[in-house]
Structures are given as C-alpha cells and as structure tokens.
Amino acid sequence: MSGGRVSGRVKGNAAVGHCLEMSTGDMRTVVRLLTAVERTEQQERTLARVRTECERTDARFREQGIDLDVSISRALDELIDGTPSTDPCPAYSYAFYQAVAAHFSDPTDLGAWRRPSWFRAMDDELARHGVPSDLLPGTFLFRGPPLRLPHPGDVVPAIGTLPAGRAAALADAYARVLDRLDPEFRGPARRLADALRAEAREGGSARTAGTNPDTLLFWFH
C-alpha cells in the first residue's frame, strides 16, 4: 500500500455520514507537550497516557482490518521528535487528537453529518443571509490544528478549531437567521448554535474558576 491510503474505512459510511465531536481546552498545553525540548514530570505522565491511547487505537484498527502506512504510536513519536513524514497519512491526525483528548474536556457529540463537501452548501446558505465568513462551518470545521501535520490523505479524519471567545458570536449569528434558512440547513444550524451557546456559558464559568479554555476543537471522523 502506498500514498498514505487507508485500507478499510476508519469511521463513517456513505449512508449514515460521519461523526462530529467538539471539545474545549487550552491548546497551548497541547502544543507545549508535543514541542517541549525538556518535559516536566507531569508532561511525561500525560505523554504516557497519550501513548497508551494511541496504542489502543492501533490495536482496534488492526482488529477492524484497517491498515495505516504509519502506526498512530509511531506518528506520535515522530510528532514529538519533529520528524513527521511528508507523505499523506491519517495517523498523525489521530495522534494529535489523542494529545488533545488528554487535555481537553470530554467531547460533545454533535451527531452524524453528511460528507464534508455538504458544508459548502451550508456555508453558501448562511453567507447569503449575512453570517460572517469566519463563522461559517466549512471555515472552522476543517481549518486544521495549530501544528503542521501531514495531510490525512482523505477528507476524514478532519480537525478544526475555533477560538472559544467566538462561540457566543457564532450562536447569535446563526440564531438571527434560522427562520430564513432553507429547511435543509435549519436543523443543522440550530444544532451547532445550541452546542456553541452551551459551550459559551460553560467556558465563561471555567475562566472564572481560573482555567483558560481558549480553543474549541472539532473532530470530524
């Protein structure tokens, strides 16, 4: 097998769609973990948990007959060493996600969605009613992580980010146009608006408690 292709589907199917999850946290802690020259004892313990999760995902994929050119465990090591492959491979996205999961909140399930290209139509519909470009789902859902990763080699898995401070603005912008949207997009827009509204409230409480959940991460898989 060559070119970073995946043998077998990792998740989702044409009939049901793909899963979308959202979590929140301080992205700087994730970047520091992966780029530190010398790690603290706490970082080493966290890294050990991340590596264990990567190994578990590798084992699950093997059981499912899913073959990646690079194992997720190896991808994690290459990210830490700063030597990731330049060939397309989804393993690096999975490794990065496990690093995020060790620092961020438990994921919120945003349900099953159509293929990523469907969001282009949703972007057009929202933009037609005045939603700013940086709040269109196709803009932030597939933006990628703050670290440069090899391309997954397919449209999924996809990583997206949105500044946590923009959650309330997104919810407000979508709420203002819900009644004018085509019925095909009204339900999905409401689902995103409700999730981001709840996240904006919870994020405010977290900052009051002394933490800094500065980033919303979206995991489309």
CB proximity list for 132: less than 8 A, separation 6 or greater = 173
Q: Mean pLDDT across the stretch 156-170?
A: 95
Amino acid of residue 175: A
What rounded mean pLDDT belongs to the chain? 89
Q: Mean pLDDT across the stretch 161-167?
A: 95
The DSSP secondary structure of 146-200, one letter per residue, reads SS-----SSS-SEEEEEEGGGHHHHHHHHHHHGGGS-HHHHHHHHHHHHHHHHHH
Q: What is the pLDDT of residues 113-152, one digit of tens each?
A: 888 889 999 999 999 999 999 999 999 999 999 988 999 9
pLDDT at 170 > cutoff 90? yes
The percent of residues above 90 in pLDDT, for the chain, comes to 76
Tell me, what's the pLDDT at 105? 93
More confident residue, 22 or 113: 22
pLDDT at 92 > cutoff 90? yes
Least confident of 14-28, 93-107, 178-192: 14-28
More confident residue, 122 or 203: 122
Tell me, what's the pLDDT at 13? 45
DSSP for residue 9 = -
Least confident of 30-34, 66-70, 154-158: 154-158
CB atoms within 10 A of CB 81: 9
Amino acid of residue 68: L
Split at pLDDT 50, 70, 90, the class of 158 is very high
Tell me, what's the pLDDT at 211? 66
Tell me, what's the pLDDT at 86? 86
Least confident of 5-19, 27-41, 78-92: 5-19
Split at pLDDT 50, 70, 90, the class of 7 is very low
Q: Exposed e or buried b for every residue in 141-168, given b needs 16+ CB within 10 A?
A: bbeebebebbebbeebbbbbbbebebbb
**Residue 203 in contact with residue 25, Cβ under 8 Å?**
no
Q: What is the pTM of this model?
A: 0.88
